Amino acid sequence: MTTLFDNLTNMGHEQVLFCHDREHNLKAIIAIHNTNLGAAMGATRLLPYANEADALRDVLRLSRGMTYKAACANLPVGGGKAVIIARLEDKTDELLKAYGRF
């Protein structure tokens, strides 16, 4: 049986952070895939994932992709990505500020 940590190890991720701010209804995951060439670059995706496992799978896949995109573009950065689990209509200034503080 493959475990969560097996998936992280197999995909080569350095760090995965989970954020939950109950007051502002924030659930987010930040994945740092690789920083060998420099700080990780990547953006944030906001989607109403069906469940947290789908969000985790997406952020791991996307962050690894950012590492390869940066390498192909010969940029001195690594790859990272974040996802916020929410519907677009739930996006508020308070939610984004809570995310920024994290």
Confidence of residue 11 (pLDDT cuts 50, 70, 90): confident
Whole-number pLDDT of residue 1: 62
Q: Which residues are catalytic?
A: 81
Q: Which CATH number applies to 23-101?
A: 3.40.50.10860
Maximal CA-CA distance, the chain: 41
What is the pLDDT, as a whole number, of residue 79? Answer: 97
Could you read off the pLDDT of 19-40 as tens digits, one per residue? 999 999 999 999 999 999 999 9
pTM over 0.85: yes
**If you average pLDDT over every residue of the chain, what do you get?**
93
State the pLDDT at residue 2.
Answer: 66
Strand residues in 35-77 grouped as ranges (E): 40-41, 44-47
